[in-house]
Copies of this chain bind each other. A is one copy, B any other.
């Protein structure tokens, strides 16, 4: 399975509404699921989205406000109930360890969950088989980190070039691993027979006021998921509460060179989401969508460079 897509579980800030569940995000990355900020009800939203606990490979908590973590209790118990055999690293701000522990052991259950706590102090990089996960400190009043999923750059082999240089069989794999190989006509370097392929990047900039880290997380992202709790008319309130406006989200996407933008985490005061898209589009030329619960958004195909 090489599906890479965002699955939106919940899109409200602070409290759920009739139309929006508590915040929750899921990134399907080939066979892996990365669960980001499970708000209350995430286990049911996963079910409605057709996502299984056994697919969870990482859990990333940006911070310990309830709409970003209360679902951890139910998700943990579902992981346990389903006897998920693998270890699931849970990344979270180190200062919130006590909340992690409370949610991890929130009620009585027959505990088979293999959660592996990964408290983050200043920043962090976690290397996975086909991506790295980077955390960077945001500015939200309480300790908060954004996350960035980065696929290493790679190469797309051009069969005609390989054939022309006589590279075949196991030599192809060696060329990929080592960057050069000796074939019939002498040394072949990978850039002679392959096209450089930029790895895909997905960034999660959740609760924060405008800060450098937001731009750094979003840098060159194929898909940027960015909170936009407020519209620009409430810019002062946004800053005071450590949040972004849709205008600022658009600015981050644009200045950081992101390719597409998903807005989410809307204050319940706004009855419609179209103004969020409208506002961000004035800043950012790429595709913009205001997330709705259970929406799926593909990660744009890799760029060739």
Interface, chain A (partner B; CB < 8 A): 14-18, 21-22, 40-41, 43-44, 47-48, 63-66, 68-71, 73-74, 77-78, 81, 96, 99, 102-103, 105-109, 142
Contact of A106 among B47, B70, B77, B78 (CB under 8 A): B70
Bound CA span A189–B109, Å: 57
| Inter-subunit contact B43/A43 (CB<8 Å) | no
Bound CA span A70–B68, Å: 15
Number of copies of chain A assembled together: 2
| Inter-subunit contact B73/A40 (CB<8 Å) | yes
Contacts of A63 in B (CB 8 A): 108
| Inter-subunit contact B41/A107 (CB<8 Å) | no
| Inter-subunit contact B21/A107 (CB<8 Å) | no
Q: Closest CB of chain B to A129's CB: distance in Å?
A: 30
Bound CA span A17–B46, Å: 10
Bound CA span A107–B99, Å: 6
| Inter-subunit contact A109/B66 (CB<8 Å) | yes
| Inter-subunit contact A66/B106 (CB<8 Å) | yes
Q: Closest CB of chain B to A115's CB: distance in Å?
A: 15
Contacts of A14 in B (CB 8 A): 81
Apart from the given pairs A65-B109, A70-B77, 12 other A-B contacts in the complex at a CB distance below 8 Å: A40-B41, A40-B44, A40-B71, A63-B108, A66-B73, A66-B107, A70-B73, A73-B73, A96-B108, A99-B107, A102-B102, A108-B142
Bound CA span A48–B69, Å: 22
| Inter-subunit contact A81/B15 (CB<8 Å) | yes
Bound CA span A65–B65, Å: 23
Contacts of A17 in B (CB 8 A): 47
Residue of B nearest to A63 (CB): B108
Q: List 29 A-B contacts (CB under 8 A).
A: A15-B81, A17-B47, A18-B47, A21-B44, A22-B44, A40-B40, A40-B71, A40-B73, A41-B41, A41-B44, A63-B108, A64-B108, A65-B107, A65-B108, A66-B77, A66-B107, A66-B108, A66-B109, A69-B106, A70-B74, A70-B77, A73-B106, A99-B107, A99-B108, A102-B102, A102-B103, A102-B105, A103-B107, A108-B142
Q: Closest CB of chain B to A294's CB: distance in Å?
A: 12
Residue of B nearest to A75 (CB): B40
Contacts of A65 in B (CB 8 A): 107-109
Residue of B nearest to A82 (CB): B15
| Inter-subunit contact B70/A18 (CB<8 Å) | no
Contacts of A77 in B (CB 8 A): 66, 70
